[in-house]
Amino acid sequence: MVNRQARHKQPAPEVTLQTLERAVHRLRDWHQRHAQYLWEKAPRAIAQAALLFLSKTSPFRQKAFALGESVGMSPAMVAEALQNLLGPIRPEHLEKLRKSQLGTPPLKNRILPRVVFHNLAGNLFVSGWESLIVATLAGACSLVRTASIDRYYPVLWCQALAEIDPHFAKATACFWWPHDAEELTRTVTHAADAVVAFGDDPSVRAVREMTPPHIPFVSHGHKISFALADEEDLNIYPLKTLAKRLAHDFSVYDQQGCLSPRTLFVRTQNLSLLHELAKRITEEMRELATTLPRHVLALAEAVAQAREREETLIQAAAWQSRTKRQDVDKLAAIISQAHDPFLVSIRALRPFVLPPVNRTCVLRPFSTMGELREILLPYRGHISTLGVASMRQDWVELALEIGASRLCPIGKMQKPPLGWIHDGYQPLAALTQLIEISEFSVDK
């Protein structure tokens, strides 16, 4: 995404090795002296910090809006992100989440982390905030390495916690350093009690290799998601309703997150129904383009989407010219208009390649689960979420087979609950080490 100058800058500072070592020592010392307080007060502090971003008159909310420009998000999109992540947060819900993942009492056979190291990515700030919230809920202090593109949002969340309670002000530290400064990364991974790494696969792998094997490591590498529907869904549910939900999932965050669907697969042979659905999606995405504007595309982003459109038009023209070559896509069609700030198209199931992001919705019909399975199996290990129009046993079986970690309703792909099984991890439990305490008996 485009990196722009942000107003109200308070970026995470670049750090030296000496400063980083002092920060780690300070966090460990602070946790040793205030562990019980941080544990007990975390749910209420998190919930009150969330309110600072939800209140329409709060300066923190205004700062979040102003910073959106730096990561290519309009104020409306930032508001959507804040509501999706923070809106449902309540102290009692956080307590329930902690109890469900850590048990009662958690100290009986778990080692809770004192310091969690977060290596963040810059594609979506709410992912970093969620990681920080989870660590705070675990009663831990946090040391953050921000992404180059976003050195602002992690600092802003830490400032909100500090505003609520000074004890939490000293429980976090945000810095930035280059990827190739391996000595700095290694210093933190060896000093932390748990490591959470976001980024592309090579970046996450590099952090993993610098982390001692006994340290809990939570990896969030490259992930993609897909939407699924059945012809029966299109006949049962109003097309407008399904289209509205699909348009939301394909538009929110401009497909920059791992939960953003990259293709809509529809089990149908009714092409007229498929075209009608595509038209309804186009109408809904056009409306969202006004209420949730897309960021201004960088040149490479614009070229990628233009290339996708051009390739689809070429395939459609080749079929219309009655070339009838085997490699021509007879289903290829552009549904959106050239001036729309998004792309909606229909393509055949094969050959399948991932389309570009930034609000590109490609509908692909299929006939059997075997066909769909062949398309998705090559992406096994990289699939985060399957959004479905209705719950079906074959969707569940598919999710298990391709290793998807989440199955959810269409329209809620971008709204996972806090504490969801992210990339196969229970986020709170993953930060801890569990000890098996066996029964002992005296041999006679």
The DSSP bridge pattern shows strands 383-388 and 433-434 to be: unpaired
Residues 427, 419: contact at Cβ < 8 Å? Answer: yes
Distances (CA, A) of 256 to 30, 36, 194, 307, 419: 36, 38, 26, 19, 21
pLDDT given for residue 436 in this prediction: 78
pLDDT over 70 at 9, yes or no:
no
pLDDT over 70 at 158, yes or no:
yes
For 390, the token pair is 């209705």
Q: Is 88 left (phi over 0), alpha (psi -120 to 50) or beta?
A: alpha
Which three-class secondary structure state does DSSP give residue 399?
A: helix
Q: What is the CATH number of domain 17-221+423-434?
A: 3.40.605.10
Tell me how far apart the alpha carbons of residues 268 and 277 are, in angstroms, rounded to a whole number.
12
As a whole number, mean pLDDT of residues 240-269 equals 96
Shortest CA distance to 222 belongs to which of 260, 189, 188, 176? 260
Residues in Cβ contact with 270 at an 8 Å cutoff, skipping those fewer than 6 apart: 231, 234
Residues in Cβ contact with 331 at an 8 Å cutoff, skipping those fewer than 6 apart: 271, 346, 347, 348, 365
CATH 3.40.309.10, domain 224-409, yes or no: yes
Q: How confident is the model at residue 441 (pLDDT cuts 50, 70, 90)?
A: confident
- H helices present in 103-144, as ranges: 125-137
Q: What is the DSSP letter of 72?
A: T
The DSSP bridge pattern shows strands 406-409 and 383-388 to be: parallel
pLDDT digits (tens, 9 = 90+) for 209-235: 999 999 999 999 999 999 999 999 998
User: Domain ranges in the chain?
Assistant: 17-221+423-434, 224-409
pLDDT given for residue 3 in this prediction: 41
Supply the pTM of this predicted model: 0.92
Residues 419, 134: contact at Cβ < 8 Å? Answer: yes
Tell me whether residue 359 is exposed, middle or buried, using C-beta atoms within 10 angstroms of its C-beta: 0 to 12, 13 to 18, 19 or more: buried
pLDDT digits (tens, 9 = 90+) for 283-321: 999 999 999 999 999 999 999 999 999 999 999 988 777
Distances (CA, A) of 276 to 123, 165, 175, 239: 33, 54, 50, 8
